[in-house]
Each structure stands twice: as C-alpha cells, then as structure tokens.
Chains A and B, each alone.
Chain A
Amino acid sequence: MPSGPSYLRVFLTFARNSLVRNMTFRGNFLIETFSSMSWVFMNLGFYILVFQHTPRIGDVSNWGEYSFAWGKYEFFLFLSTTLMVNSLVQALFMENASEFGEMIRTGTLDFALLKPIDTQFLISLQRIDWSSLGNLVVGIGLAVFSLHKIGWVPSVWQVLLFMLFVICGVAIMYSLMIALAATSIWLGRNQSLYNFWFYITNFSRYPMEIYRGTYGTPLRMFFTFIIPVLVVVNVPARFLVRPLVPQTPMDLLLPVFAFVATVASLVGSRWVFNRSLLSYRSASS
C-alpha cells in the first residue's frame, strides 16, 4: 500500500531550506529584519503620541456586551497580538501567495500539480520568510513589557487560549490570502487584489469597539460575520488583558464563533482553491 508523504517532514525540510537560503544572504536578511522592525517601532511611536492625548480607546459605558476600554498598555497588548499574527502570516504565507500568482502567470504551476503531495500544502508553505519572524519576537517582547506595566500576570489557561486563538487568527488570514491569490487563475493578474487584502486586513488592526454608530455597527457586523477579520486580533487579545471569567454572554459566544469562523474559512478557501485549479489552463505547454 503506497503511503503518502510525511507532511511534517516535508514542512521541516521547507523550513530548513528557506533558512539556508535566508542565511546565504545574511546582510540582506539583517536589513530586512531591521527594516520591518523599524516600521513597527514607528507605528508604536504613533500610538504613544495618540495616548498622550487620550487615556483610552473605546468606552465601556456606550457599548455594552463585548466592549472594553483599552488603556495605553492594554492597547499595546492588542498591538502586540496584531504583530504576532501578522508576522506569522508574513513569514509562512505571504511570499508563497505572491509566488502562486507568478506561477499561474508563467505556467510553472504545472510542476507543482505534478508533485505527489497536496497542491495547496505545497503552494502555501514552500518557502518561509524567516526575516518576518523578527516581529514575532518584538510582539512577544511588547506583550511582556505591557503586562509588566499593567502589573498583571495571565494564567496558564489564558496564555494557552491566547495562543490557540492567535493560530485561529493566522488561519483566517491565510484563508483570505490564499482565496484571493487563487482568484488570479480567473483574472490572470492580481495586482489590485493584493491591495485589497492589505486594505481589508487594515480593519483588523483596531479594537472592534471603535466601529459603532450608524455606519460603524454594520461595518463591524460585516467584518465579523461575513469576512471575519475583526475576530483575528480582537479575540486572542482579550484573553490576555482580562480575567478569564466571562462577564457577558458575548465573551463566550465570540470566541466560539471565532473558532467556527476559522474552520469555515479554511474549508471555504480550500474549496475556492480547488475550484480555481479546475480552471487552470497552464501557459505555453
């Protein structure tokens, strides 16, 4: 009986090869790590400025249920969660998704289709961008620093739940990205789709409490239930800043929903991916 490839071993090989590749151009690796970090520090600077003028973002009194007033260091915890999710997405998938678009355009996808391994797995994880993991370290550092400033030590369960939902967040982002990349099979080119990805995920980078009012509420609903980018950072971040005791039904319901949304996104994106492959017509072969 022919046994399939060991996906874990293949993944580890990809990771090792990418690391070797990254380390071949060490100077470039350092510059890339450094430049993406400086971007983060500039962003942090912006929020430090904002918090010089306001004690918090979001208000408990006006929007009940699932709301939280983010003080400076609570918001930094939020920011560190964003950093962790984004750096993981970038390290694991970003390069591969753009490479996927190129493969479709140039026809090299043929080779990927011929390999005796799941095509989506191969396409999604072929290359790992180790330099993006620098921001993961910055994110963890920022989280530890903020927790220290608040004087709050989360329990083991909180940290575990936090990690679980960070992974869910990464999975949701990945699904969105691979689904968008797959559409380039139909469109031929995906330049503005990448911008689209960037602009949509832009919504995920703020606490969901800020979207309220006549226009905010529908927006929040849309980006929670239709395209679930708002749960990506909001759900894990909340596990870190607050005691685990649920105060309102939403505190329980939203994480459950986030979990369901993760599964649905993965299944949905897999469907889109496979559908798009059916329309692949290769190029000049």
Chain B
Amino acid sequence: MPARTAVWWTILRISLEERLVYRGDFALGTLMRFLPILTQVFLWWAVFTAASTGQSIDQTRIVGYSYHDFIAYYLLTMVSRAFSSMPGLASGIARDIRDGTVKKYLIQPIDMLSFLLLNRMAHKVVYYTVATLPFAFVFYLCGDFFPNGWPEPQVMAAYVASLLMAFLLGFFLEATIGMIGFWFLEVSSLLFVYMLFNFFFSGHMFPIDMLPGFWGEVVRIIPLQYLAYFPAAVFLGKVEGPELIQGLWIQFAWVVLFMFTSRAAFHLGVRRYSGFGG
C-alpha cells in the first residue's frame, strides 16, 4: 500500500509540474473565456427589456429566472464546467488505442484509468490555483448579479459536493466514450456529436428549464445536466430540500454507473486489442 501511494504521489507531482509550465498563458486564457459572457449580459438585457411589458425589469421573470439570475447562472456554469470539462480526454484515449501507446498501460504496473484520473486531478488543481484569480476578479466585478450573496452553509456544502461529482462524472463519462476507440478506429465525429449535445443539454448555453415538453423531459433524464446545470441551480436555490438531496443521489448514481462502465469497457476492449512491435 505505501508503495502504491508513493507511485500515485509521484504521478500527481509530475503532472503538477508539467501543467505549471504554461501558467501565464493559462491565466490569460481563463480571463478571455469570460468574454462571451459579456455578450450574454447584453443579449439578455435586450431580451428582458422587450419581455417586460409594463413592469420593471427587476420583476420580470423568464422560466422563473430574473435578469440577474440569468447572468449569475452563466457565471456559475463557467464554474461547473471548470470542474466537469475534460478537454482531450476521450480523444486522447482513442488516439492511444489507435497508435498503440495504450500498450504501456498493459505492460507497466499502472492502471490506465487511475493514471488518467490522477493526471486530470493534477491538471484541475493547477487550473484552480491559476484560475482562481481571474475567476475571483470576474465574480467581484459581477457581484451585482448575485443580489442574495452567498447561499447558506448547507446549500454551499451541497454545491461543493455537486461540483466534485461533476468532475468525476465528466471524467468517467468521457473516459467511457474514449474506450469506444477499441471498437472503432475513428471516433472524432462521435466526439463532436457528444460535444454538441454536451454544450446544449448540460445547460451550458441556457438554463435547461427553458426547454419545454418532450425535450425538457429528455434533458432531465440524461446525465448531462449534472455537468453544468445542476451545480449552478443548487447555488441559485433553484433546487431545494428533498429535491436537492434526490438530485445529489442521482448524480452519485451516474458517477458510479460510468465508473463501472468505463472499467468494463476497458477490460472488454483490452481483450480484443492486439499490440504489435514496440
């Protein structure tokens, strides 16, 4: 056990150092990622001015969201996505399978999924260390969009829990998709479709409450909402009480499900995998 901890620690440390090399570019990139929010601020202002017929904008509600809620929601999904997005994970796994790099996990006494998970954790830790400043800066500037300030401690705890699970769900979901590379050589178009659905149905582009009827129900069933919408909704108090507890359990269940699916896919995939040369 101590030996294994040492291995994990080493992996984590190497990944940390690797990630810190480009910290300047990182911080700047993070700040720029908020630019599209600026257009959202103006777009929704225009929408709300037109929608508020006869009443003040502060009182106007669209699917239960005030203007401030909308902007706060967009800012919060940025936080959710900072946890749940895994750039290049699935495509990386698929590439490793295709070009045979995956062999190294089969030969060396390292488990691929654990290795990648640690790698991502290191990436995220560095990301938060560097990105906290730009995030704090933007949230400070946008303080007006959060008229209620911080939520209560219990809600905050639930929020943090949902963020951590968003990270795990994002990881195992993408890892599972990457494993499809064992069966199909080229998964880039599949990944594009996933990315597309992710962008729209995780709530990154708009609060999923806006979707009516059939689509609204579909989106509530599939796990994508836990990657962006759910944590933000928890923070804003859109999900409360028993519904909140239930939501957290469902999110947990999805994490466990995809944890097993990714592992099963890896085992089945390795069985049909054949490595040559090397």
A and B: interacting chains: yes
Number of residues of chain A lying within 8 A (CB) of chain B: 37
Which residues on the A side are within 8 Å of B39 (C-beta)? 202-203, 205-206, 210
Q: Does B3 contact A (CB under 8 A)?
A: no
Asked whether, in the complex, the Cβ of B36 is within 8 Å of the Cβ of A202, the reply is: yes
Shortest distance between the CB of B146 and any CB in chain A (Å): 18
Which chain A positions have C-beta within 8 A of B47? Answer: 50, 53-54, 57
User: Within the assembled complex, what's the spacing in Å between the Cα atoms of A192 and B29?
Assistant: 7
* A195 sits at the interface (CB 8 A): yes
B245 at the interface (CB under 8 A from A): no
Q: Smallest CB-CB separation from B215: which chain A residue?
A: A45
- Evaluate contact between A55 and B46: CB separation under 8 angstroms: no
List, in ascending order, chain B residues with CB within 8 A of A210's CB: 39, 42-43, 45-46
Instruction: Decide yes or no whether A49 CB sits under 8 A from chain B.
Output: yes
Decide if B196 touches A56 in the complex (CB within 8 Å). no
Q: Would you list which residues of chain B between 25 and 59 have a CB under 8 Å from chain A?
A: 25, 28-29, 32-33, 35-36, 38-39, 42-43, 45-51
A232 to B200, CA, bound (A): 26
Query: With A35-B189, A53-B63, A199-B32 in contact, do A46 and B206 touch (Cβ < 8 Å)?
Result: yes
Q: Is A107 an interface residue (CB 8 A)?
A: no
B43 lies within 8 A of A206 (CB):
yes
Answer whether A57 and B42 are a contact pair too, CB < 8 Å, given A35-B196, A45-B200, A46-B206.
no
Instruction: With CB as the reference atom, state the residue of chain B lying closest to A61.
Output: B49
Chain B residues with CB under 8 Å of A52's CB are: 210, 212
Contact (Cβ within 8 A) B36 A199: yes
**Cβ contacts A to B, 23 pairs, < 8 Å:** A31-B189, A35-B192, A35-B196, A38-B196, A42-B200, A46-B206, A49-B210, A54-B50, A54-B51, A56-B50, A57-B46, A62-B49, A69-B50, A195-B32, A196-B32, A199-B35, A202-B35, A202-B36, A209-B46, A210-B42, A210-B45, A216-B42, A219-B38
